Amino acid sequence: MSVFLEVSRFADLGGWVLETQSLSVLGGAYLMAHGVGRPVEDAVTEVELGAGVWKIWALTRDWTAAWGRGMPAGRFEILVDGYSSGPELGTNGEAWDWQYGGEVELEEGKHRISLHDLTGFNGRCQAVYLTLEEGDVPPSEPGELLEYRRKATGYEVVESEELLDLLVVGGGYAGVCTALSAMRSGVKCLLIQDRGVLGGCGSSEIRVWTGGLTNVGKYPKLGNVSALISPIDGTPGQVKSEEIFEDGRKKQLFREGKDLLLNEALIDVELQGRSIASVVTQNLRTGVATRRRARLYSDCSGDGVLARLCGCETMYGREGRDEYGEQLAPSVPDRQVMGHSVLWEPIVRKHPVSFPDIDWGIEFNDENGLKRFNCCWDWETGQYRDQVDEIEWIRDYGLMTVLGNWSWLKNRSPYRDVLSCHDLLWVSAIGGKRESYRVVGEYVLSQKDIEERIKHSDGTAAITWSIDLHYPDPVNESIFGEAFQSCAYHRGIGKPYEIPYRCLVARDVDNLFLGGRIISATHVAFSCIRVMRTLGMLGEVVGMASAVCKECGCLPREVYSDHWDLLRSRMERGISMNQAHGYMPGREESYHFMRPVGSVGNTNENVWIYFGEGGEEPAMHPSLRQAIIELGVTHKNGKKVE
């Protein structure tokens, strides 16, 4: 007898973070004890077990083993009914693997299983396995493990009977604006997001300041949605507090469970010819998998998750100079990208605050330590790595250097006395990407288009950000071998430039739009498109285009070839984001009563009685008419109801 527990489905996650960035690599999410050096609250669930001596295994890893120094950072225990089952976990080496967690003799019944953090330094666990058999251990190779875990957890796909007009994958700025624009344009839309909050890099999980101007260029009413969901404040130099990113405000514009699904990940796709017939999504907290169908899809995942599952041609890294005639491109193409930032925020307390003197990761000392008491955009890693397949290592490198350098500052640096009251208020658990896979669309925008001001008849939202290329900082790279700080080259583009609609349409799949970081552009051109408000505006365009597709029964590319006037008209009007409970004045006369449902033949407590323009009296319940008579109001025609 055995029990396989996906820890992402624990009833109470406590202080552990649900980490989803490596889903495509690992085949599942994991929990991470991100406490910035303070142990987090236990993740807890209950399970029915038979009587016997249960052997306990955890699917885990030592994330700091890669640097070969010191104690494993992320150590934890498994508790059964509040008691430790045995050895410390998260100490088993660099690769994900099953680590023995001891054994416990139990009586038949319900038992409490807990992940108990010991360090606050990002211990992690994918699954817990309990078995009565000696030597019974699940596979650890991701492909074999995925098949095993699905069988062990009773995986099956539920069929949704709903046919959507548009399904949007990814809830960053591009995805949110795409979905809201589509919904406000009469499109039946569903937005799925594999995190528990909306906003992507502009959420409280990552806290990147929102860049780019809205409502500029040829279509000044583009940007209404992007501006609406942007924080009212936020610029470099300010404290990156959770409140300033307003996660709840974005979510409030949706009906969760109806047009928004959080913690819902795309895991599979079915093609029919050159079109997407359906996708399978899975709720990471419940494990429920659902097949969903839509006429149109928009990939705003940031990594081209849907597009790559469909087999679309992608671009990664820097194109060669001759490929698009770009002055800023390298002579030879390579896979260097703009990196991934783990942002952090310090605070000065009114009393001394300690921080662990860690012995793992890179050793920071008086020779190589950084005198950095605040964090900006430049704490950046992974420029030479794959931002999908290696994202766990990339994030961990950024995290390790933040924590290691801070530990040196607080404990061993010449500044430790001055910094005695300094504390780490927040460090991002997941970090934010600038660039990943881009997808080839109907047109690939280049530096040449932007700087030579090439006019495209299908221009849409306008770029206002400069060409902003990030590079590994040469000094940091020379000291540490692999940089964790970056520098940037900026080149102004002169004035706003409209992005062609064709950059938002996948070339290889007929019913797929492209949004966010995966837009069809070269590395150089992408560097000035990538900021959030600009990507949000492009999402608005996709939402409008989906409405044209619905109206005309056409495919995304046919909006440009056959129905451009309709999209242009919508871009000229923009998306109306009406102020709540605000109305333009009219000349109607009406009475408004509140009555219990069914008491006057009503299906809603709000009962409105509208009179005609000439004062004509409508049909109404006798009790309501009597109430109006007793009010004795003189109408515009000079008469009262009698």
On whether residue 584 sits in a domain, the answer given is: no
> Which pLDDT score is estimated for 535?
98
Evaluate whether residue 471 is within a structural domain: no
Amino acid at 602: N
Residue 579 falls inside a structural domain: no
Verify that 101 and 59 share a domain, yes or no.
yes
What pLDDT is stored for residue 191 in this prediction?
98
How many angstroms separate the CA atoms of 232 and 255, rounded?
23
Three-class HEC string of 367-424: CCCCCCCCCCCCEEECCCCCCCCCHHHHHHHHHHHHHHHHHHHHHCCCCCCCCCCEEE
Q: Is residue 86 part of a domain?
A: yes
Q: What percent of the chain has pLDDT over 90?
A: 94
What percent of the chain shows pLDDT beyond 70?
A: 100
Assess whether 618 and 515 both reside in one domain: no
Q: Give the model's pLDDT for residue 374.
A: 81
Q: Residue 45 is part of a domain; what is its CATH number? A: 2.60.120.260
Q: Say yes or no to pLDDT of 235 above 90.
A: no
Per-residue model confidence (pLDDT) at position 579: 76
In a domain, 56, yes or no: yes
Q: Which two tokens stand for residue 539?
A: 């999402």
Distance CA 205, CA 197 (A): 8
Same domain, residue pair 428 and 561: no
Exposure b/e, 534-544, CB count within 10 A at least 16 = b: bbbbbbbbbbb
- φ/ψ of 451, rounded to 5, equals -80, -25
Q: Please, are residues 43 and 14 in contact by the beta-carbon 8 Å criterion?
A: yes
* Residue 377 sits in the same domain as residue 319: no
Domain co-membership, 299 together with 396:
no
pLDDT of residue 577: 81
CA distance linking residue 364 with residue 476, whole number of Å: 13
- pTM (two decimals): 0.93
**Whole-angstrom distance between the N-terminal and C-terminal Cα of the chain?**
80
Q: Is residue 291 part of a domain?
A: yes
> What percentage of the chain's residues is helix, strand, coil (to nearest 5)?
25, 30, 45
- Asked if 162 and 138 sit in the same domain, the reply is no
pLDDT at position 233 is: 86
Q: Are residues 358 and 260 in the same domain?
A: no
Q: Which of 389, 405, 433 is the last residue of a domain?
A: 433
Domain-terminating residue out of 407, 433, 459: 433
What six digits make up the tokens of 436? 């990943």
- DSSP code string of 174-230: HHHHHHHHHHHTT--EEEEESSSSSBGGGSTTT-PPP-S--S-TT-TTTTHHHHHHS
The total number of structural domains that make up the chain: 4
What order of strands is seen across the sheet that includes strand 76-80? 43-49, 109-117, 76-80, 83-84
CATH number at residue 179: 3.50.50.60
Same domain for 193 and 261, yes or no, is yes
CB 433, CB 387: distance < 8 Å: yes
Q: State whether 226 and 106 are in the same domain.
A: no
Task: Give yes or no for residue 237 having a pLDDT over 90.
Answer: no
pLDDT in tens, 80-112: 999 999 999 999 999 999 999 999 999 999 999
Range of the domain at 227: 158-326+438-450+496-573
At 582, give phi and psi (nearest 5°): -130, 140
Determine the pLDDT at residue 586. Answer: 85
Query: 607 lies in a domain?
Result: yes
> Contact, 184 vs 577, CB < 8 A?
yes
Final residue in a domain of this structure, among 379, 398, 433: 433
For residues 274 and 253, membership in a common domain is answered with yes
Rounded Cα distance between 121 and 396, Å, is: 11
Q: Number of C-alpha atoms within 13 angstroms, CB side, residue 445?
A: 34
Instruction: Check residue 583 and give its pLDDT.
Output: 80
Considering the domain architecture, whether residues 429 and 446 belong to the same structural domain is answered as no
Phi, psi of 250 (to 5 degrees): -70, -45
Q: In this structure, is residue 174 part of a structural domain?
A: yes
Co-location of 553 and 600 in the same domain: no
Q: Is the pLDDT of residue 578 over 80?
A: no
